[in-house]
Structure 1
Amino acid sequence: MNSAPAPLSKSLFGAGLLAALAASLCCITPLLAVVGGLGGAASSFAWLEPYRLYLVALTVAVLGFAWYRQLHPAPTADCCVVSEKRPLMQTTAFLGAVTVLAALLLAFPYYGATLYPTAKPSAPAVAANEAAPVWQTTAYRISGMTCEACARHVESAVQQVPGVQTVAVSYDQATARVRFNAAHAQAAQVESAINRTGYHVQNPTR
């Protein structure tokens, strides 16, 4: 008989992947919100951010134990047992694939922002009989952002506001600096666009 218990292997693989997913879920949901148009769902898992280091440690511990079991299987009681072909989920190749997937999930906050579409500055055309643009720059303090992917989500949303020319969002400083044509947009419109992403504007300042 095979000495490696399949149920425990499945539990270890599942626990490792779930912990890795939970560790990066606060940064994955903003991208899903942009792709799927989920709007306010982007910050739904921001509460997980304070536990990220613990979840990373749990992922490493669980997968480390799984590798230990894989490389040091328990000895069999029967010396004459005939070796059998292992099920796929008990193979080293499958554990390697699970480990790679977990590593990609854990690293998502560091590369997730590159998956967003590039926001292009817009300069609304001015008609011949229209007054020259009245450019206004407003800084917003934003709560709830936990990684660069969150900042890119906010940038993408604000760029959709007519009259906005440039947007610069910093998640580590929790700020957004927006330059817009006051003849086409108002600070309140920009604030509303930010709030619709699921993050929340505190006191905007000029």
Structure 2
Amino acid sequence: MKAAIQKSWISGVLAVSAASLCCIAPLLAFFGGVGGAATYFNWIGPYRPYLIGITILIFAFAWYQKLVIAPRQSEHCCEPAKSSFWQSKKFLLIVTLFSGVLITFPYYSPLFYKSPEKTSDNFVAQANFKYVLLNIRGMGCADCTKHIDGTLMGLNGVLSSSTSFEKAQTIVYFDPAKTNADSINHKIKEIGYQPAFMKND
């Protein structure tokens, strides 16, 4: 029984880790400087809901074993065996909470990225800023937009960056005296995505 519970939480952690890779990889790349690595896990994005469902089922089964089946079996034993910390309810609770933190990562991930500045078209026109609209391929989930925007906001001369996962596009306002559309395009390629010019003004 103890081995079954241990296998359950190990399977749950593996499933939730796989489900979260496509969301966490951009953040690791953003802070670790391994830009292209973020796109290695993009293929996981479409399977995330299924992996989360599997994780929930695995942990529900582990808790059922721990709270229902294990006590029933211990009633038939004369002397219950002592369980280690790794097989305790406390450890199972820690692993369950950790999995919850990974599952909900997309909801609090904006805290880790630099927020793109909001810029009005009037201000851009007055300041003689230009903009570029790019198609972006290679985004696995909505968190990739934060990776792109956060990286571009660190580029000298970029005033604002707004990326849409649904449209697979980004629009970037920049100071032509400090940077240009080619540099922005190259920066996006550097972090592992495939940009293509749609409009350059």
> In which range does the TM-score fall when normalised by the shorter chain?
0.7 to 0.9
Runs of at least 4 residues off by over 3 Å: 74-80, 117-122
User: 2:192 aligned to 187, 198, 202, which one?
Assistant: 198
Unaligned runs of 5+ in 1: 123-131
Specify the alignment match of 1:101 in structure 2: 98
Q: Structure 1 residue 197: deviation in Å?
A: 1.3
Specify the alignment match of 2:123 in structure 1: none
- What SS class does the counterpart of residue 138 from structure 1 fall into? strand
- What SS class does the counterpart of residue 182 from structure 1 fall into? coil
Asked if structure 1 preserves the Cα contact closer than 8 Å seen for 2:117 and 2:161, the reply is no
Specify the alignment match of 1:144 in structure 2: 138
Matching of residue 21 in structure 1 with residue 4 in structure 2: no
- What SS class does the counterpart of residue 205 from structure 1 fall into? strand
Asked if structure 2 preserves the Cα contact closer than 8 Å seen for 1:168 and 1:177, the reply is yes
What does 1:12-161 correspond to in 2, within 5 Å? 12-74=8-70, 75-76=72-73, 79=76, 81-119=78-116, 134-161=128-155
> Relative to 1, partners in 2 of residues 1:80 and 1:205: Cα closer, same or farther, differing over 3 Å?
closer
Asked if structure 2 preserves the Cα contact closer than 8 Å seen for 1:9 and 1:89, the reply is no
Deviation sequence 1:161-199 (CA, Å, 0-9, x none) = 332211112222221111112232221111111111111
Using structure 2 for the length normalisation, give the TM-score: 0.86
* One-letter code aligned to 1:205: K
Structure with the larger helix share: 2
Asked if structure 1 preserves the Cα contact closer than 8 Å seen for 2:44 and 2:140, the reply is no
Using structure 1 for the length normalisation, give the TM-score: 0.84
Asked if structure 1 preserves the Cα contact closer than 8 Å seen for 2:74 and 2:80, the reply is no
In structure 2, C-alpha distance between the alignment counterparts of 1:138 and 1:15, rounded to whole Å: 45
RMSD: 2.3
Highest CA radius of gyration, 1 or 2?
1
Q: Kindly, what percent of the aligned residue pairs are identical? A: 33
Deviation sequence 1:24-83 (CA, Å, 0-9, x none) = 110100110111111111111000011111101110111111011011125449945212
Matched residue pairs, number? 193
